[in-house]
A and B are shown apart, each in its own frame.
Chain A
Amino acid sequence: MSVPISGAGRYIGQRVLRKEDLRLLTGRGQFVDDIAIPGVLHVAYVRSQIARGRIVSMDLEAARALPGVRAVLTAADLGQFNVRLSNMHLHENNGPITLPLTAEYVRYVGDPVAMVVAESRYIAEDAVALVYVEYDEEDPLITVEDAMTGPLVHADRESNVLLQIGLPPNPEYERILAGAAKVVTSTLRHQRIAQSTMETRGCVSNPTGMGELTVYIGCQSTHIASAAIAIAFGLSENQVRVIARDVGGGFGLKAQPWREEAGAIAASLLLRRPVKWIEDRLEALTTSCPARESDITTTMAFDADAKLLAMGVVYNSNNGAYPHMPDAGMPVMMFMPGPYRVPVYQFTGKAWFTNTVGLGGYRAPWAIESLARESLFDKAAREFGIDPIEIRRRNLLTSSEVPARNPLGIEIDNITPIECLDNLLTKIDVPAFRAEQAEARKQGRYLGLGIATYIEPTAANGIFPLLSDHAQIRIDHAGKVIANLSTHSQGQGIETTHAQIIAEQLGVSVDDVTIYQDDSTRSGFGPGGAGSRQAVVAGGAIIRTARLLTDKIKAIAAHALNANPDDITIEDGMVKVAGAEAMSRSLREIAELAYGDAKRLPPGMEAGLDAQYRYTAPRMFTHATAAHACVVEVDAETGFVQIKRWISSEDCGVQINPAIVEGQIAGGVAQAIGVVLHEEFTIDARGNPTAVTFKDYHLPAITDVPILEYTHISTPSDSEGGFRGVGEGGIIIGGPTLLNAVADAMVPFGTLPDDLPMTPSKLLKLMHSEMPA
């Protein structure tokens, strides 16, 4: 059964203030570095200062002799653990064997070659400076072009191709290209992005008892972390308790533990002491699973009416030496067709090893598909001489064409791109903007309007471990509600949103609901924050669980009060019988009965008030939809892009809490602004990262992000509760919206450069290379 719950309930759809905020605003959160255990030792890593070469010798004696140093460990010391790191799917998928410490041959600047374990981080860093490593340096492969022609990054692999994806060549594609009225093509080079969670990675590993391990770790799921650590160390999950109360941003960086966390865990097992590793910002900006670096060449063939006939894509990604998410490019192929009619589709992609730090997955790892597709639609519209909105209207799937399957066989149904676009256009007067734009150009001011549309695949179902979520809800003897969820929050506000769902379903106050999701031993297995899934999947699990619980409450009350269960409702924590106000009982009274008076329960009913349910969303992907618009002005003197307006029109189904929905959109849009205008993980020719502080790596600041305007439509999905998810959409659509606006502003000067970000210097160069038309 799948009945959407109301979009405007007592709690669903309300801007309920966040439960998390009271502790976070008063300094009482518990982040990983806040964990203090007596006798804890601190780790600092000795990292390679060259990008490629053999370790000739390592002199560790001075470091070992430093007072306060408890151990200086190398790969040989950790060999006994036979550590095998897995990817987020919990297996060694295509990646090279990845160890905490490198033994003989370094493959990127920052490759950890030894670790110091000391009484304080200060002493550990002192000792790191005393380690002398001699290398036989080789020329590194930095770019994909280098990897195509250079020597093997991993000598045991057949080539530098980590992963090849694609569709079989379709002869139809070439035929369509040859006969099409118009063929447009463009290349986009996506820079490397430093994920830049404000809380860096970190863990505290405490070996307790016999073969037990308690690990506090920055993660996105305590269960994935527990499973990955268990696999890495040959333990079982019941031996690895993972605790993560507050996590300061995830975005994919913390999807599964990686080399440095595993090193700290190994040290704790070896030394039988609690061991802490907290990444510093230098490490975070240079060696912490950066993302995105890839290039994509897209070709679109149109008929004379600007209707798309075929799309072809060539994609290459620079995945570094030890990728954290080796298959980050795979979804590009799956999602590139988006909400459009794509009769013929061709894709070939390769992920390459290079001598750079391994690539991770960052919020919507496939997002380059929307950047490439949406910017090419705009280019085609310019060549046809039609409006960018019009070319989308001609190619978006209409409601009469769905359900449909995209060229990869993914079911596309129940989507609303045209509705989102229409709703967007009620907020912006495009003809008036065009008039303003024309007038401004005469004065040497360059305004641009960008629009983009997309569908976001959410709540993936069928790719392990992204399948199901579990809820266990109990009403305690005092009538308060406690839920143990398989979810995890790195800022998404799940303690609030999911409490809202519970409060709505059970008829209790949201203040009386407490959610726990911080301990792998407390809740059922779940993959946590990944793929915009927790509202949809855990939301569904909660609704089903609450329904079981409600049925039980009604049965108990009906039996005790000699009433018909169908006449019983629960409102504001009171169990009421229709037409018999005096018979009302508080939930507490029913709970006391359930826990304490078996004789008064219906015959055969088990005692207590708790229930659980594991839910799987009904589709391989649920889809959220959006259309965004933004207006920019490019300063002709400075090349600086000022964002003057930004409008989001989205459909994430039933909204649990619009303030949190808007927060997710805004956070993603800000990250997209970073991608298009500001951020770049730069690497020099020898492989050295060169943006090593937040002064060199430019995160968007408050003055770089405009006030966003939102408009929502809420079309329930067909998953339980009608939710669609909203976690990644902002960064997916924000990129092409802004890129299209900048391109529109720069039309008088020609075509934008093909490499992100669009820095003032690149735009100035463009403006100075061409005189305005």
Chain B
Amino acid sequence: MSDHAITLTVNGRQYTEQVEARMTLGDFLREKLGQTGLHLACEHGVCGACTIVVDGLAVRSCLMFAVQADGTEITTVEGVAAADGTLNPVQQAMRECHALQCGFCTPGVVMTLTSLTTGENEPSEEALLKAMSGHLCRCTGYQGIRKAIKQLTAGEAA
């Protein structure tokens, strides 16, 4: 297997690493960079648990090779709360709405909702629900995730 040098920024820190061409981005971030908040649950792009943000877009890290991430800027679930531990609005809404139980699918849900609600984006409740149809959760019946979405799209009124 051929190794390749890649340089990328993960949660604000730059790394240069040698990776095998076949290593998925998800495995790379977990195993080489210790970002174990990223969870691999199906490894075929259906469940959404491994979602991270690559150059501003939500991406399934099981469907991307690490070498494809050369030169990118990546955020994982470890990188969205403030340095002092303050949760970001998505994390806070999910906490307040009991949107998780076992927490295994949770990092992916956080990252998709974060990517869609960051910056100028003001997506509708329906748009976020649609995005969530790409995430599987076996514990919650999605009730708390629905509430969190409502809270996130209701602005200050929530």
Given A198-B49, A198-B104, A200-B41, A21 and B94 contact (CB-CB distance below 8 Å): yes
Tell me the A269-324 residues at the B interface (CB within 8 Å).
Answer: 280-281
- Residue A209 lies at the interface, judged by CB distance under 8 Å to chain B: no
Contact between B104 and A21, CB atoms less than 8 A apart: no
Q: Closest Cβ of chain A: how far from B128's Cβ, in Å?
A: 10
CB pair A491 B103 closer than 8 Å:
yes
Partner of A248, one of B98, B103, B135: B103
The answer to whether B98 touches A660, judged by C-beta atoms less than 8 angstroms apart, is yes
Segment among A591-599, A695-703, A764-772 that sits at the interface with chain B: A695-703
**Which parts of B25-80 form the interface with A (CB within 8 Å)?**
30, 34-44, 46-47, 49, 76-78, 80
Q: Are B39 and A31 in contact (CB under 8 A)?
A: yes
The answer to whether A663 touches B143 (Cβ under 8 A) is yes
If A247-B102, A248-B104, A708-B141 touch, whether A17 touches B95 (CB-CB below 8 Å) is: yes
A21, B95: Cβ atoms closer than 8 Å: yes
Q: How far is the CB of B114 from chain A (nearest CB, A)?
A: 11
B40: which A residues are within 8 A, CB to CB?
A: 33
User: Which chain B residue has the least Cβ–Cβ distance from A199?
Assistant: B104
**Cβ contact within 8 Å between B94 and A25:** yes
Stretch from B2-10, B105-113, B116-124 forming part of the interface with A: B105-113
Q: Is the interface of A mostly helix, strand, loop or mixed?
A: loop
- The answer to whether B142 touches A702 (Cβ under 8 A) is yes
- Encoded as 1 (CB less than 8 Å from any B CB) or 0, chain A from 11 to 23 comes to 0000101101110
A268: interface (CB < 8 Å)? no
Taking a contact as CB atoms under 8 Å apart, the answer to whether A670 and B41 are in contact is: no
With both beta carbons as reference points, the residue of chain A lying nearest to B38 in the complex is identified as A27
Least distance between B110 CB and chain A CB atoms (Å): 6
Residues in A whose Cβ lies below 8 Å from that of B20: 122
Q: Are A694 and B42 in contact (CB under 8 A)?
A: yes
- Cα(A198)–Cα(B102), bound, Å: 9
Question: Taking the nearest CB of chain B, how far is it from the CB of A245, in angstroms?
Answer: 11
Is A662 an interface residue when CB atoms closer than 8 A count as contact? yes
Interface size on A, residues (CB 8 A): 56
With known contacts A27-B78, A196-B138, A666-B141, A281–B100 Cβ distance under 8 A: no
Interface residue A175 (Cβ < 8 Å from any Cβ of B)? no
> Who on chain A is nearest to B147 by CB?
A707
Chain B CB within 10 A, most for which of A122, A251, A669: A122
A711 to chain B minimum Cβ distance, whole angstroms, is 15
**A24-B146 in contact given A18-B95, A122-B22 (Cβ < 8 Å):** no
CB distance from B143 to the nearest CB of A (A): 4
Query: Is A760 located at the chain interface by the 8 A CB criterion?
Result: no
Known: A24-B103, A122-B23. A198 touches B137 (CB 8 A): yes
Contact A281 B44, beta carbon cutoff 8 Å: yes
Q: How far is the CA of A199 from the CA of B34 in the complex (A)?
A: 18
Task: Report chain A residues within 8 Å CB of B39.
Answer: 31, 198-199, 248
Contact indicator A28/B41 (Cβ below 8 Å): no
Q: Is A349 an interface residue, CB under 8 A from the partner?
A: no
Q: Give A492 to B101 CA distance when docked, in angstroms.
A: 6
Report the separation of the CA atoms of residues A248 and B22 in the bound assembly, to the nearest whole angstrom: 27
> Is B154 interfacial (CB-CB < 8 Å)?
no
Q: Is the CB of B138 within 8 A of A18?
A: no
Cα distance A281–B50 in the bound complex, in angstroms: 13
Q: Mark A682-696, 1 if CB is under 8 A from B, else 0.
A: 000000000001110
User: How long is the Cα–Cα vector from A132 to B44 in the complex, in angstroms?
Assistant: 26
Q: What is the CA–CA distance of A197 and B137 in the complex, to the nearest angstrom?
A: 9
**Known contacts A17-B95, A28-B78, A122-B22: does B143 contact A708 (CB below 8 Å)?**
yes
Give chain B residues whose Cβ lies under 8 Å from the Cβ of A246. Answer: 102-104
Given known A-B contacts A25-B110, A27-B77, A694-B44, A20 and B142 have beta carbons under 8 A apart: no
CB-CB nearest in chain B for A198: B104
Given A24-B103, A198-B104, A660-B98, decide whether A705 and B141 contact each other with a Cβ distance below 8 A. Answer: yes
Chain B nearest CB: distance from A36 CB in Å?
8
CB distance from A287 to the nearest CB of B (A): 16
B101 near A702 (CB under 8 angstroms)? no
Are B43 and A26 in contact, CB atoms less than 8 angstroms apart? no
B152 interface hit (Cβ, 8 Å) = no
- Contact: B102 with A199, CB < 8 Å? yes
- The residue on B at minimum CB distance from A707 is B146
Chain B neighbourhood of A31, CB < 8 A: 36, 39, 104
Checking B43, B106, B136 against A701 with a beta-carbon cut-off of 8 angstroms, the contacting residue is B136
A602 contacts the other chain (CB 8 A): no
Residues on B with C-beta less than 8 A from A703 are 129, 133
Interface contact B138-A29, CB-CB below 8 Å: no
Q: Give the contacting residue for A249; candidates B35, B135, B139; CB below 8 A.
A: B139
B16 at interface, CB cutoff 8 A = no
Residues of A within 8 A of B142 (CB): 666, 670, 701-702, 705
B141-A667 in contact (CB<8A): yes
A246, A251, A699: most-surrounded residue (chain B CB, <10 A):
A699
Which of B41, B91, B132, B144 gathers the greatest number of chain A CB atoms within 10 Å?
B41
What distance in Å separates the Cβ of B132 from its nearest Cβ neighbour in chain A?
5
Check: A531 CB closer than 8 A to any chain B CB. Answer: no
Which partner residue on chain A sits nearest B144 by CB separation?
A663
- The reply to whether A249 and B143 form a contact with Cβ atoms under 8 Å apart is no
Q: Given known contacts A17-B96, A248-B103, A694-B47, is B87 in contact with A25 (CB within 8 Å)? A: yes
Complex Cα distance, B101 from A490, in Å, reads 8
Residue of A nearest to B92 (CB): A25
Asked if A699 contacts B136 (CB within 8 A), the reply is: yes
In the complex, A94→B38 CA distance in Å?
A: 41
Q: Which residues of A contact B135 (CB under 8 A)?
A: 701-702
Which residue of chain A has its CB nearest to the CB of B87? A25
A26-B87, A27-B107, A707-B143 given as contacts; is B43 within 8 A of A281 (CB)?
A: yes
9 new A-B contacts, CB < 8 A, other than A490-B102, A699-B136, are: A25-B87, A28-B78, A198-B39, A248-B39, A248-B41, A491-B101, A702-B137, A702-B145, A708-B143
- Chain A residues proximal to chain B, CB less than 8 Å: 15, 17-18, 20-22, 24-31, 33-34, 36, 122, 196-200, 246-249, 251, 280-281, 490-493, 659-660, 662-663, 666-671, 693-695, 699-703, 705, 707-708, 730
17 example contacts (A-B, Cβ-Cβ < 8 A) are as follows: A21-B100, A22-B87, A26-B78, A27-B78, A33-B40, A198-B49, A198-B139, A199-B39, A248-B102, A663-B140, A663-B141, A663-B144, A670-B140, A670-B141, A694-B47, A700-B141, A707-B146
Instruction: Identify the B interface with A (CB < 8 A).
Output: 20, 22-23, 30, 34-44, 46-47, 49, 76-78, 80-81, 85, 87, 91, 94-96, 98, 100-107, 110, 129, 132-133, 135-146
Nearest first, the 9 closest Cβ-Cβ pairs linking A and B are A27-B37, A491-B102, A248-B104, A24-B103, A670-B141, A666-B141, A491-B101, A694-B46, A27-B77
